[in-house]
Structure 1
């Protein structure tokens, strides 16, 4: 059930952070008559002029992490960032704003995650009764036999890409054999793609603005025809300007009414978004409409289809963008300033609309848990025996089977599932989601699951999508730590296509890490580099894989890990665990963590001063990440100097009974059922549920 809106003070916005693909110097100061250096600069310059024309102070940047940097200095974020330094860029941007407490255009992580992922938005379309072509999703490592399920021809697309990024000459395939060949190419690139039944005809596109109480403003229908033999739009059509692409505004009122109805039905499943674009495929011979995708960060240059749909003429670009801005501000109880504001006392903050859940005044009735959805890549779907190791994922299969068995042995009714899509299909059969899903290869994997749970109205284990997206990015996590006064080694971030990076500004040795990886993926014996030349060579290896990296000053010493979990009235911090290995520099590698190769010894860290500092650091992190059911933080301890440096945090961390989290909280696998029950009980209570009577027995304190 959706919450009813509460009365809010509407206050004027004072300063906007404008986030685009270009550095400000590429477009700030340009006039309408100037010729920008690139398509991205052209778009940014027009948006920047539209925003500054309101009289509001606008701070421009191209760095998503500046959302944290300028927290407290701005009161709204207008993001038009669409480049793919990492996929699903809108999701981390929305998540950063959520964590920073900053209102943002399209700043709802859940809605943006649902809209950005083509497979998820197609599921929403099915739920809404909106026709969409059949499809299968192919992840790296997946068997490709599912491609035989489709009718051909078919189109192969990147699930989170924009601008038809993956659609080139081989994007349209005539048979399952061709589809397998193309899908393998994308699997080697580490990308999740979908193969979708091809619909002959033309693309129909509409721009949409959500005006709140005034309803949706749905623009005119724009038809797009190209010189491709099957009339599809390719990346070269959209971004390079090659070939022929004709756009026509349709005037068929009946067709518009049908699209108007489909957009409303679809939006009810994914809202709220302030503005977006919806693409359909129209088979004119059969007069059939098929939903293709939603774009929450649509190209908004004056000549874009988004603007053409809403205003027809590029010269009305400013009016469209101000309508978009008004929609974003209104959703957050903000507005553009007025002359009379200077003489009025305006509250700085919106008042709290009511008691929070779990506060004494909330009067929450905790209902017993009936059925739990266990979402994991290796969730057992039948009576098969536990798999000790998977060829690609190592001990992950053993861990998932053990956790599933523990939940069942606690007396819970558990429904296993292996794909996030099952959250939509099974949402009426469960009342809680216990997810340890790690199967997708895009940065916000963990954040997408809570996004879908929120969309499905299901309570879930872990934390909100914003917090999960934040900790998935090592740079953002380190920036947060720095803001909290938690020491972290110096570093630089290098994008997959970035050149001219200042590696000589760091002190060596350094360690090179994937910015977005988990389980020490890509960390091996060669990850520690002795000088800038070696660092550059290692960075090139990641850039060849199209991966962003962190180059971080290496701290000699040992690894420390501390776990924490929610409890009634607060949270509990476990013992700090020291891990020593036989890897160079005493680091933990992917092979050690996932395949149990090499030596890793674990023991309690007994330094009183160090433990006191870590307790303080954990409390600061918890304050920023909450509400959170459990999380872990990793540190590096320099035994020679006594210094402790924060490395990263992990909310959806490994709960293996043989893992460090279990050792930190309950001392080892003997009390593993107590740990699982304690984590689950805390999460349920936070969300108005409780364990059934069959599992309610005293759980010893972690202290």
Structure 2
């Protein structure tokens, strides 16, 4: 980080975060739709870190509350959204849509950027065009499409196309044959009412590229996720909701292998193509020395124990510094047009 930090042009950070209704509920249910919601502990950590910077933090838990706040047009407000929502393919775009409608400043992608990132099919197409290695994949929009997939390079992963936080992705989504693939795909089509992505499984190391935009470029950190006591677990297993939802027994460490320069260049081109992201996490596998793109997450989990925060704190940053840099990323963006309202 720069030794001298510029003063942030804001007075209140409006943290919009819907809360998991019952944290005692069994976290391994693959049909849960609320895994992108936040815990009270995560929200408390974020607001406390913001307040330690001498900035007010206001937590709002609903879109109605955000709309009411936006209508009051406080000039010093900046919105930080970790809103998850449920059962809507547009849910991750709702907060920036409200902010744009009221000319309210916010951190992260605009409506278009959110939709592009949420749709795995589109984000993979853009990643490939930018030069990133993307595994073989096909989209299944209905059961009839299953008969038109042609030759499938098993093993493959079957998962919802527009979900995050491993919603709908369990270990049994890694399938070895056509019968398994069709069974899981049909279940996901019925349960989530959205297209299903069939993607070649890639072994290797589970890694994430963690990015915060800055005025002079991007802060980029590389982390590896491991299962404690099983360093090679992800060679043959998914990073699914069984591991991700409870976040128990996971280790996040700085990546000890250099990412190829052509992959770093492709990552930068992808982010430029999507547009302003503020902060984000790019998930992938490191296989045979190359980064294989899986998905782009512009609302990375900001808990102090998460991969995003730890990728920076392991490099000497404090958690408050991570939040400060995320807040500062709002000023980087000068491309959002004013509302016509």
Given the alignment of the two structures, is residue 412 of structure 1 paired with residue 63 of structure 2, yes or no? no
Counterpart-to-counterpart distance in 2, 1:629 and 1:643: 25
Equivalent position SS for 2:11? coil
| Mean CA deviation greater in 405-414 or 624-633 | 405-414
Distance in 1 (CA, whole Å) between partners of 2:8 and 2:51 is 20
Matched, 1:374 2:15: yes
Return the offset for 1:441: 2.4
Structure 2 counterpart of 1:631: 280
- 8 Å CA contact 1:375–1:419 kept in 2: the answer is yes
Corresponding residue for 1:596?
A: 247
Q: Deviations over 1:219-268 (max 9, x none)?
A: xxxxxxxxxxxxxxxxxxxxxxxxxxxxxxxxxxxxxxxxxxxxxxxxxx
How far 1:687 sits from its partner (Å)? 6.0
CA distance in structure 1 between the partners assigned to 2:268 and 2:24 by the alignment: 36
2:3 alignment counterpart: none
Aligned with 2:93 (options 418, 433, 447): 447
Contact 2:14 2:60 in 1 (8 A): yes
Contact 1:487 1:645 in 2 (8 A): yes
Q: What is the rounded CA distance, in whole Å, between the counterparts of 2:43 and 2:144 in structure 1? A: 38
* 1:431-470 mapped onto 2 (5 Å cutoff): 431-470=77-116
CA distance in structure 1 between the aligned counterparts of 2:16 and 2:81, rounded to whole angstroms: 5
Question: Where does the alignment leave 5 or more consecutive residues of structure 1 unmatched?
Answer: 1-365, 380-386, 689-703
Q: Secondary structure at the match of 2:301?
A: coil
**Distance 1:471-1:527 versus aligned 2 partners, 3 A rule:** same
Q: Find 1:607's aligned residue among 257, 260, 278.
A: 257
In structure 2, relative to structure 1, the CA distance for the partners of 1:587 and 1:367 (3 Å cut) is closer
Aligned to 1:190: none
Could you say if the C-alpha distance between residues 517 and 668 of structure 1 is closer, same or farther in structure 2, counting changes exceeding 3 Å? Answer: farther
Cα deviations across residues 62-120 of structure 1 (Å, max 9, x unaligned)? xxxxxxxxxxxxxxxxxxxxxxxxxxxxxxxxxxxxxxxxxxxxxxxxxxxxxxxxxxx
Partners of 2:132 and 2:263 within 8 A in 1: no
CA contact (8 A) 1:467 1:625 kept: yes
Q: Residues 660-675 of structure 1: matches in 2 within 5 Å?
A: 660-667=307-314, 671-675=318-322
- How far the C-alpha of 1:659 sits from its partner, in A, is 0.8
Deviation per residue, 1:542-576 (Å, 9 max, x gap) = 122133211101112221101111111222211x1
TM-score, length of structure 2 as denominator length: 0.83
Check 1:670–1:533 CA distance in 2 against 1; reply closer, same or farther (3 A cut): same
For residues 669 and 684 of structure 1, what CA distance do their matches in structure 2 show? 24
Matched with 1:22 is: none
The number of residues matched between the two structures is 311
3-state SS in 1 of match to 2:318: helix
TM-score normalised to structure 1 length: 0.42
Residue 43 (structure 2) pairs with residue 400 (structure 1): yes
For 1:449, what is the secondary structure of its paired residue? helix
CA contact (8 A) 2:263 2:290 kept: no
Q: Give per-residue Cα distances to partners, 1:295-339, cap 9 Å, x unaligned.
A: xxxxxxxxxxxxxxxxxxxxxxxxxxxxxxxxxxxxxxxxxxxxx
**How much has 1:521 moved relative to structure 2?**
1.2
Q: Which residue number corresponds to residue 296 of structure 1?
A: none
- Residue pairs, 1:82-97, within 5 angstroms: none
Q: Is the 8 A contact 1:423 1:456 kept in 2?
A: no
- Structure of larger gyration radius: 1
Quote the Cα distance in structure 2 between the aligned partners of 1:547 and 1:669: 42
**1:351-393, CA deviations, whole angstroms, 9 ceiling, x for partnerless residues?**
xxxxxxxxxxxxxxx98423332111139xxxxxxx9946375
Q: Where does the alignment leave 5 or more consecutive residues of structure 2 unmatched?
A: 1-6, 28-33, 336-341
Aligned partner of residue 623 in structure 1, secondary structure: helix
Closer, same or farther: CA 370–643 of 1 in aligned 2, 3 Å: closer
1:635–1:500 CA distance, 2 compared to 1 (3 A): closer
The residue aligned with 2:301 is: 654
Judged with a 3 Å threshold, the aligned counterparts in structure 2 of structure 1 residues 520 and 367 are, in CA distance, closer, same or farther, namely closer
Q: Per-residue deviation at 1:396? A: 2.7
Change (3 A) 1:507 1:455: same
